[in-house]
Structure 1
Amino acid sequence: MNNQFKDWKSNLDRFFGHDFWGDFEGMMKPSIPYINMYQYDNEVLCYVSIPGMNHPKDIEVFVDHATLTLKGKIEINHRGGHQIKAEIADGTFERTIDLPFPVRSDKIDATYKNGLLIVQLHRYISDHTRQNPVQIRHLEDE
């Protein structure tokens, strides 16, 4: 059966003129780490799943205007034995996520507990875009 797979892969590579299977395999690889993002009026909460991280210093978090970048390594420490199932994606990662709006660089809160990194970001509102209350004149008073 293994030789049939190799023949099939080789035929696809020849037919498409390049490493077809390698391209397809890259599409199937999951993005790590897994992220859930929640948007509020002036806040974004990012929950990042990082199993096996011993200490928060093992991950780098960068915020630039409207992007969040995470760099680090998910390392599953196993000793001996032969892996027969692999569902937890691990390895070195660098992932950049677009945020729904620009965020403040001076007001970021990040915590890590029980395998979850939680990053709290706050909307950047410049002086030019800040909403100011509008004074309403009451015509009956004039």
Structure 2
Amino acid sequence: MDSWSKMMDWKQMADKYINQNFFPNQQENEKSGPKVNIYESENELLCLVSLPGLKNIDDVEVYVYKSSIKVIGNTTIHTHGMSLKQNEIFQGRFEREVTLPYSVREDPIEAYYQKGILYIRLYRLLTDDRSKKKVEVKYYPD
């Protein structure tokens, strides 16, 4: 048995003994939800969310607000009677919120799911950052 296997056995015993995860930061990262990649062009963002095991598109909800995106859902990977020995692929209920590099428009937003990846296409909210200009009103008597 190698050193890594011994350490993992020890960790499992420690987790069982204290009835919680002995290395909470590692567990927190694993359970934070699916992985997200964000790609940017001049006026567009493409968010890719890794969702293997999504059986029904109704099991995922996407919310966009200003400069953030929230994905809520549930993924399940069925292994037909086998027990889990190593867990790296996220599965289960999740709620993942990601800050975007800039504010995005409410419309159009395109989202589709293909081969385990949720694709969300967003467009930059173009705003005019110029300050308001006060217009001087002149009075001309009759």
TM-score (norm 1): 0.71
Q: Which portions of structure 1, spanning 4 or more consecutive aligned residues, are displaced by more than 3 angstroms?
A: 1-6, 19-28
Q: What amino acid sits opposite 1:88 in the alignment?
A: I
Q: Report 1:66-85 matches (<5 A).
A: 66-85=67-86
Q: 1:53 to 1:23 in 2, by over 3 A?
A: closer
TM-score, normalization: structure 2? 0.71
Percent identity over the alignment?
32
Please show how residues 109-120 of structure 1 align to structure 2 within 5 Å. 109-120=110-121
| Structure 1 residue ranges without an equivalent (≥5) | 11-18, 131-142
The match for 2:36 is 35
The alpha carbon displacement at 1:43 in A equals 0.5
Given the superposition, is the C-alpha separation of residues 23 and 85 from structure 1 closer, same or farther in structure 2, using an over 3 Å criterion? closer
Report the CA distance between 1:87 and its aligned residue.
2.3
What's the counterpart of residue 108 of structure 2?
107
Distance apart, 1:58 and its partner CA: 1.2
The answer to whether 1:121 aligns with 2:122 is yes
Q: Which has the higher strand share?
A: 1
8 Å CA contact 2:53, 2:91 repeated in 1: no
SS of the residue corresponding to residue 22 of structure 2 reads: helix
Do the aligned partners of residues 93 and 106 (structure 1) sit closer, same or farther apart at CA in structure 2, a change above 3 Å counting? same
What stretches of structure 2 of length at least 5 have no aligned partner?
1-5, 131-142
